[in-house]
Amino acid sequence: MIEVVRAWPTAADVDRFATKIKVGRDAVIRDIVRTVSIARLVHEGVLSDDWVLTGGMAMRLRGSTRFTMRDTDTSRRDGYPDRQALADALRIDDDELVVTPADSSDWKSGKQLVTAQPIEYEAFFADVGAGPVEDAFSFTVSWRGVLESADALELVHPYNPALVIERTVVPVMNLTEQTAEKIVGWAAHGLIKHYVDVAWIFHALGGGLDIGRLPALIEAKLNVGRRLFPTAYAKLTGLTAVVRALHDPDAHVPPLGDRDDGASQIRFAGAGLNKQQAIEVIRTAALPALIKAAHGSRPVR
C-alpha cells in the first residue's frame, strides 16, 4: 500500500474545520476520507487519462465551493472496470484510517455504470474518546465515454495544514466535456446541482471553456443518453430542447424555488451561487455563447 498522508488532522482539527466551513462534523470526516482515497487511487495508478475524476469532487479541484456529501464519481474512456482491482485499491489499513469496501460482487450495477457501495471506514484520527468514527461513502464508475484528454489538476482541500498529503495531480474530465455532461444531466434529469454547476463554470471559468466545441460535445452526450435512457431523453431531440431547459428552469422542473426542492439543499463550503444568480449567469453568459457556437460547431469524432 502506497502511503500518501504525511500528517493527519486531530479530532479538534475536525471540529474547527466543521465550524469554519459550516458543515457537519461527520461530513468533514467523510470528505477527508474521500480526499485521501482519491490521492491513493492516483498514486496507485488507477486514475489516468483514460479513467478520470468527475462530479462534485472534480468541481472542487476547479475551485467550486459546492460541498459534495457522500459520493465520488469517475468515468472511464471505455470498458468495464476490474471490480476486484478497484476494491483492492480502495482498501486502506492505516493506524489513523481503515477503509473497507463491500464485496465487489455485491456492488450496484447500472447501465454502463457500477457503484462501489458501501465503502465503510473507521476514522481513528477523529476519535474523541468513544472510538473511531464509523460511516461509509460510495465510489461510482461509468464507462459511457470519455471523449477529450483529461485536465491535470492538483489535489486541493480545505484542511491545510492539519491534513498533509503528498503532492497529487489528479486526471479530471476535460472542463468543456464536463460542462456538456452537466448541461445534459440537467436537461434529462432535472438535478439542480447540475444547473448551478453549469452557471458557476461560466461565472468563474468561462475563459477556460472551448465554446466552439461545446455544442458537439452536448450532442455526443445526448446520443449516449438516448441509447441508454430512451424515456428520460425522449424529449431531448436536439440543442434547442437543451437551450429551453437552461433558459427557463422553473418550467423545466417546477418549482425550483420551493423549500422542498433540491435547490435549498445544496451546501457550499464558502460563497456559492444561489438559484437566481445561477439563472442570471445562464441567461446572460452561457446561452448566448452556446447559441453562437452552435452555428459553427463540428461533430465529435
Kindly list the structural domains of the chain, giving each domain's residue range(s) and its CATH number in brackets, ordered by start.
5-172 (3.10.450.620), 175-294 (no CATH)
Residue range 235-253: mean pLDDT, rounded? 92
In this model, does residue 190 exceed pLDDT 80?
yes
Contact of 65 with 31, CB cutoff 8 Å: no
- CA 247-249-254 angle, 5° bins: 150
Q: How far apart are CA 17 and CA 30, in angstroms?
A: 13
What is d(CA 243, CA 217) in angstroms, rounded to the nearest whole number? 14
Distance, CA of 52 to CA of 76 (rounded, Å): 6
Q: Which of 71, 78, 149 is nearest to 115 (CA)?
A: 71
Give bridge partners of residue 203 from the DSSP assignment.
Answer: none
pLDDT at position 145 is 86
pLDDT surpassing 90 at residue 258:
no
Share the mean pLDDT of the chain: 92
* 97, burial (CB in 10 Å: exposed 0-12, middle 13-18, buried 19+): buried
Q: Which is higher by pLDDT, 257 or 217?
A: 217
- Does 70 score more than 70 pLDDT? yes
Looking at the predicted structure, is the pLDDT value of residue 111 above 60? yes
Give the pLDDT confidence score for residue 254 in this predicted structure: 66
Who wins on pLDDT, 187 or 262?
187
The confidence score (pLDDT) of residue 261 equals 58
In which element (H, E) is residue 152 found? strand 151-154
User: Is the per-residue pLDDT at 108 higher than 90?
Assistant: yes
For residues 245 and 67, the model is more confident at 245
In angstroms, the Cα distances linking 34 to 102, 103, 253 are 16, 19, 31
* pLDDT over threshold 90, residue 191: no
Span 294-299, average pLDDT: 68
Q: Report whether the peptide linkage leading into residue 255 is cis, meaning its omega lies within 30 degrees of zero.
A: yes
3-class DSSP string for 192-203: HHHHHHHHHHHH
- For residue 160, the SS3 value is coil
Instruction: Indicate the residue type of 204.
Output: A
SS3 assignment, position 211: helix
Task: Using CB atoms within 10 Å of the CB of residue 271, give its burial: 0 to 12 exposed, 13 to 18 middle, 19+ buried.
Answer: exposed
pLDDT at 132 over 80: yes
**What is the distance of C-alpha 45 from the center of its chain?**
20
Q: For 231, what's the count of Cα atoms within 13 Å in the CB-facing half-sphere?
A: 0
In the prediction, which pLDDT does 273 show?
86
Cα–Cα distance measured from residue 262 to residue 207, given in angstroms and rounded to the nearest whole number = 29
Query: What's residue 161's pLDDT?
Result: 95
Q: Summarize pLDDT for 138-179 with one digit per residue, the tens.
A: 999 999 989 999 999 999 999 999 999 999 999 999 999 999
- Tell me what pLDDT residue 184 has: 96
Query: Alpha helices, DSSP H only, in the chain?
Result: 11-21, 25-43, 55-61, 83-90, 175-189, 192-205, 214-228, 239-247, 249-252, 275-281, 287-294
- Of the chain, the end-to-end C-alpha distance in Å amounts to 39
- The whole-model pTM stands at 0.92
**Helical (H) or strand (E) element with 253:** none
**pLDDT mean over 276-284:** 95
Residue 286 predicted with pLDDT over 80: yes
93-112 mean pLDDT: 96
pLDDT tens, residue by residue, 21-59: 888 999 999 999 999 999 999 999 999 999 999 999 999
- pLDDT for residue 298: 55
- Lowest mean per-residue pLDDT among 69-78, 92-101, 252-261: 252-261
What is the reported pLDDT for 262? 57
Nearest-Å Rg of the Cα atoms of the chain is 19
